[in-house]
């Protein structure tokens, strides 16, 4: 259970980072859509 919790937290942080990058670089929106 602990491993899955850590993984889920990593995913949340990664998604937040991707959103910040996408906000800075509009050209990366297609890449972000692909990841989601």
Distance CA 24, CA 17 (A): 11
- Cβ proximity of 28 and 21 under 8 Å: yes
Q: What are phi and psi of 19, to 5 degrees?
A: -65, -40
pLDDT in tens, 4-26: 999 999 999 998 988 877 666 66
Entry field: residues in the chain: 36
Q: What is the pLDDT of residue 5?
A: 93
Q: What is the pLDDT of residue 17?
A: 87
Cα dist from 22 to 4, 12, 13, 14, whole Å: 27, 15, 14, 12
Pick the more confident residue, 31 or 21: 21
Q: What is the pLDDT of residue 29?
A: 58
Q: What is the pLDDT of residue 14?
A: 92
Write down the domain spans for the chain: 1-33
Q: What is the pLDDT of residue 9?
A: 94
């Amino acid at each position: 259970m602990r491993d899955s919790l850590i993984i889920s937290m990593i995913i949340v942080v990664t998604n937040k980072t991707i959103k910040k990058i996408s906000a800075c670089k509009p050209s990366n929106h297609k890449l972000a859509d692909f990841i989601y």
